[in-house]
Each structure stands twice: as structure tokens, then as C-alpha cells.
Amino acid sequence: MSAADAQLKDAAKVFLRDTTRTDLLQNIITQGFERQQFIFLETFLNALLKKVGKNTDLYWLLFQALEAQNTAQARIKAAGCLKQLFQMPNAKTQDMYASILPYLAYSGNKADLNVAIKLLRDGIAQIPDSAKIRRDLAEALQQDNRSDEAETLLDEAIAQLGEHPDLVFDRSLLVLKRSHLRAGLGEYARRFEAGAFKDVTLEAPWPRWQGEPLAGKSIYLWAEQGVGDIVMWAGLLPYLLQQNCKITLAMYPKMQALMKRSFPDIEVVDRVDNVGDAMRERQMDYHAPIGDVMVYCLPEYTPSAHPAFLKADSQLAAKLRQRYLEKSESKATRLIGISWATAAKTFSRRDIPLPLFWRFAHDADVQLVSLQYDGRSKDLAEFTKQTGVTVIQDHAIDAVEHCDGWAAQIAAMDEVITIQNATAHFAGALGVKTTLLLSSFGCWRWGMEGKNHWYDSVEIIRQKSGDPWKSVLANLDAL
């Protein structure tokens, strides 16, 4: 223990003996957070609450200390702390209300979700001009399979608060999901007005494309959002090429090799925030973020009605396939790639416990291969310990930095089973047989029913509200 940490703990002992010294309390809290002593703060604040009784400000500090620990156990404690906080009669801040959605509505517990909806309704009454609280309530209602109410709430919020960009964007996603991408496209085109996109910009000297005919024209398309979204929208590029236009695609370095191989008729350049002088001198007719291709090309062109478009490195895919089959302890002849979790904490409701994937490895002819974008070595080690089944994890594949190698790995599979993440998009775009395990909350990209617009090789298994994943997977035929 460092001298500073020892002094911090001594100060806490002094304050617990004399709680009138508010200056000392402020110093303890400030130093505790600055020194990232979150477990110490948890212990100290619990002791203080026990001594002085329930206090809204102390509960809020305790919640922040628990949140900062970033562990599953601490998240459970943080949810309980929030419930205690909101039982207090004191006025709550918008930041407090903003914590309800990730810690209660997304907990997977129906009772917590009901509490979240009630608290968020109370929040609107307390802070009626808060767009954030209304957005969170709409999201919670969707979690509860009440999309009609969610859309009505967003309509009312826009009517009362004006065309708030975040509200308009949220409504566009909900309408896209409910209409199976038949409506909401116009509002989605306004996404860069929303706060989530304020830093996703590109300064270009050409007019932004708004769906004008492209025959004989040139267009500069630039990458936006995640790699899964980019692949999804890339499925519409063949439609643009059919119009006899020249496309320059500004792409992140990690995806350039894959895009060049997949679209040899498209010029692929570096994605930058400000088009350089050399590019400015070129006579482009239009520019557009790649997501606008969806806005103006659906439903005239549906990628799932056309051949798979992504082209992996076939030689690398063959080498990887041979390596994995040779590594298989059961001498398997079939490879099934799996992905069970997302790296984004706000989307953890998509995750499926890895042990449930054991049923797909019951056949000795099958070897499971991890396609996780973010590794998850601890999950795999625990899975093997529980089931005795080894899932191949190839550390030579860096999905985060080199999408070309990851695409080759996916192309080496006979089949892919995945949650809703980038793996589903890559596998579908490569034409690999894919089972997409879609959470009951769903996603605007996949709609609410029926087949998807994007990939013919992707079959969607939709979780119904209230159904645990264990029962959903149990109903699948053995692979």
C-alpha cells in the first residue's frame, strides 16, 4: 500500500469518528476517485450510510464507485443501490435518471424492468423538458415488448419538445424496425444531427447526394459507424455500380484489403475527417456517408435477393480450415464458428451464456471455433472446464485491427451461429450458412419478423419476450 493510500484510509477512519468534517469528506471522495480506489470507496460509503442513515447524495456516490469497478458483481450491487436511491424523497438529477436504463431496464429481470419504466415515468414528471429521460423510457418500453407505446411516446415528445435530433433519430430506428425497413429512412438520413453522431463528420467540397440519378456521375462514399454496418451497407454497392457511376470509397485501413478484393471496380482510399487537397482537386459530383446508400436504394434493390458480395482471401481461408481440422481433438470434419457476446456494454442484452452453445458440439464430427471480435479467453476457459469441450481460439486472427484475416476465418467455417453483431454481417456477406440468434428486443437492421433484407444465407431465430435462451436453443435441431 502506498503512503497516499494509507493516508486516505486513515482520513476515512477519522471522518467516521467525526462526520461533521465535510471538508475531510470531500477530500476523501475526490482522492478516492482520482486514485481509482473504488473498492475502498464502496467500503467507506457503506460504513458511512450505516452510521448516518439513508442519504441520496451518498447513495449516488456509492453507485458511481460500484459502476467504476466494472464487474458483474459490482453491477448487481449498483442496481440495488439505484433502487435505494430512488426510494429517497429528495429530487433526483438527470444523471441519476440516466442510470436507470443500463442498470435496471437491461438487467434481464422483469421486475427490474417494471421498476425502470415506473421511475422513468416519474422522471418525465419531475424533469418534463428532458429528451434523454423520454428516450430512455421509449427504450425501456421496447424492452417490455411495447413498441406501440414507445412510438407514441416519441411522437408526443417531438410534438412537445420540438424536433430534437436525438428523439427524431430514435423514432427513425423504431419505425425502421417495426416497418421492416419500409419506413423511417427519411428520418434516418438526419442521423448526423443526433448527439451520437456529432463527431462522425467529413468535410467535403462536393454536394451531399440525396438520391439523384448516378448514371455517368461520380460519388465519394465515406465509412461511418461500425464494421458490421459498413458490410451491411456495402451489399447495396452493386446496385450503384449497375447505374454506371464511378465510386470512390473512403474506408478505414483495417477494411481496405477486404473491400478492394470484393469490389475491384471501386477505388478504395483512406477514410479521413477532412478531404485532402489532392482529393479536393478531383471533379466529384457528390459525396455521401455510406449509410445513405440504404436510405436511397431500399427497397428498389434488396441485397438478400442477390449473390453474396464479400470476397475473403481464399488461400488464407483454406489454410485456416486445414489448421483447425487438424487441431480438432475429435478429428472433426465440420467447423462451426460461434459468437456469443458483444463488446458494447449497452448492448449486453444481446449476449447468450456460452455454456448454452455446448449443444452444438455434441457431435464428434463438429469442431467449434470462436469468432469473437473481442477474444473472451476467460469465457472459453470456463466453458472447457464446465463441459470438457475445447473451442478453438486463434490468437493469430486480429479481428479488431485486420478484418481481412477475420473474414478469411469466417469463410473457413461450414456454418456460423452468432448473436446480433458484426459476425452475423460478415458471415452473411460471405455467403456462409448462418444462424442469427436475435434477442427479443431485436434490432432495426433485422426487423421484427420474417426474413432479412441483407443476406440470403442468414436464418434468424427470434427470441420471444420472456423466453430464456436455454429454451430457445433447446428447440433448435441438432447441427
Domains of the chain: 3-196 (1.25.40.10), 218-301 (3.40.50), 314-474 (3.40.50.2000)
User: Residue 475's CB: how many other CB atoms inside 10 A?
Assistant: 8
How far does the chain reach from its first CA to its final CA, in angstroms?
A: 53
At residue 333, the pLDDT reads: 95
What is the distance between the alpha carbons of residues 473 and 185, in angstroms, rounded to a whole number? 33
- Amino acid identity, position 438: L
What is the distance between the alpha carbons of residues 66 and 260, in angstroms, rounded to a whole number? 46
The pTM of this model reads 0.90
At 296, list the grid cell: 436511397
Cβ atoms of 256 and 320 within 8 Å: the answer is no
At residue 116, the pLDDT reads: 94
DSSP 187-222: HHTTGGGSGGGTT---B-SSPBP-S---TT-EEEEE
Helix (H) or strand (E) holding 130: none
pLDDT, mean of each 10-residue run, the chain (479 residues): 86 92 92 95 96 93 95 91 93 94 82 93 96 96 92 97 96 94 93 88 90 96 96 98 96 97 97 80 93 95 96 98 95 96 68 89 90 88 91 94 97 97 97 95 90 96 85 70
Cβ atoms of 286 and 212 within 8 Å: the answer is yes
What is the distance between the alpha carbons of residues 192 and 195, in angstroms, rounded to a whole number? 8
| Sheet containing 218-222: order of strands | 267-270, 246-251, 218-222, 286-289
